[in-house]
């Protein structure tokens, strides 16, 4: 039987989601905990990768196991065993062919910037000392919806088959002393959101014009775009699946 896990984590202490040699990751910690509780080697498949230091308010992963009589009890025990920076929000059974990565139809990220030094946001937001022009950044962000190829924002030497993404929403909002960027798409490339944020900040600080922003998008060249914003301000906030995966 196949089960989905809905989890959240503070990414500060992890080298991203995906298992890697010589680096601690969320996937590795989750698999070890599940394997301990279920007394069988368990492998989980996540909805996608997050880079080192990136947080997740919601990420889904699936695993296969025989019938679990009490998933609420498993959730309780799993939360007790996992470190404090990983939380299991839910565990539920899905159809046998449901896939946490390939069946996701929409993903949403937020990037948080703070304009004031705040000790409680030190690990959770990117501090900048001057406010960029939000109107310019939102004008550029809106143009993302008119493009499909985002190779210019992708990490170099990545193993993807296509750089096409369908960006459905992209905008900045101001909340008190914070700037929050929200972006939704069917899929994202590695490093894509942080590269977009860095480039939009260049637009906001008038280092890059809207005309140059279009040229960057058309270039398909990562070196033409801005530097990547720090990982600590980035959150995977939502992953959406079709109702058809549920039992």
DSSP codes joined into one string, 140-166: HHHHGGG--B-GGGSPTT---S--B--
pLDDT band at 76 (very low <50, low <70, confident <90, very high): very high
**How large is the average pLDDT for residues 199-218?**
97
Domain final position from 102, 119, 151: 102
**Percentage of the chain modeled with pLDDT above 70:** 100
Residues 119 and 20 in one domain: no
Number of domains in the chain: 2
Among candidate residues 22, 51, 73, 159, the one labeled active-site is 51
Residues 134 and 233 in one domain: yes
Check residue 125 and give its pLDDT: 98
Q: What is the pLDDT of residues 114-124, one digit of tens each?
A: 999 999 999 99
Q: Is the pLDDT of residue 70 over 90?
A: yes
**How large is the average pLDDT for residues 41-68?**
96
Q: What is the pLDDT of residues 153-172, one digit of tens each?
A: 998 777 788 999 999 999 99
Burial 31-70 (b: 16+ CB within 10 A, else e): bebbeeebeeebebebbbbbbbbbbbbbbbbbbeeeeeee
Check residue 38 and give its pLDDT: 97
Domain assignment present for 244: no
Residues 138 and 231 in one domain: yes
Check residue 152 and give its pLDDT: 96
- Give strand ranges (E) for the chain: 2-9, 45-46, 55-64, 86-94, 106-114, 126-127, 167-175, 178-185, 234-240
Check residue 238 and give its pLDDT: 97
- Global pTM? 0.95
51 is catalytic: yes
């Amino acid at each position: 039987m196949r089960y989905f896990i809905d989890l959240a984590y503070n990414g500060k202490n992890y080298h991203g989601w995906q298992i890697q040699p010589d680096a601690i990751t969320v996937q590795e910690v989750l698999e070890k905990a599940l394997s301990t509780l279920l007394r069988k080697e368990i492998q989980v498949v996540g909805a996608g990768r997050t880079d080192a230091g990136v947080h997740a308010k919601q990420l889904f992963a699936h695993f296969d196991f025989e019938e679990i009589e009490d998933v609420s009890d498993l959730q309780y025990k799993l939360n007790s065993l996992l470190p404090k920076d990983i939380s299991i929000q839910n565990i539920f059974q899905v159809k046998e062919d449901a896939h946490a990565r390939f069946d996701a139809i929409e993903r949403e990220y937020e990037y948080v910037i703070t304009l004031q030094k705040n000790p409680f946001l030190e690990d959770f937001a990117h501090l900048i000392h001057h406010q960029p022009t939000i109107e310019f950044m939102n004008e550029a962000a809106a143009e993302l919806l008119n493009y499909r190829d985002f190779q210019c924002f992708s990490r170099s030497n990545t193993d993807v088959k296509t750089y096409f993404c369908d960006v459905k929403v992209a905008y900045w909002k101001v909340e008190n002393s914070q700037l929050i960027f929200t972006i939704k798409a069917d899929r994202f490339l590695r490093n894509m959101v942080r590269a977009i944020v860095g480039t939009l900040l260049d637009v906001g600080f008038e280092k890059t014009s809207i005309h140059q922003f279009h040229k960057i998008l058309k270039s398909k060249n990562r070196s033409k775009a801005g530097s990547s914003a720090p990982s600590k301000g980035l959150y995977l906030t939502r992953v959406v699946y079709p109702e058809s995966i549920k039992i």
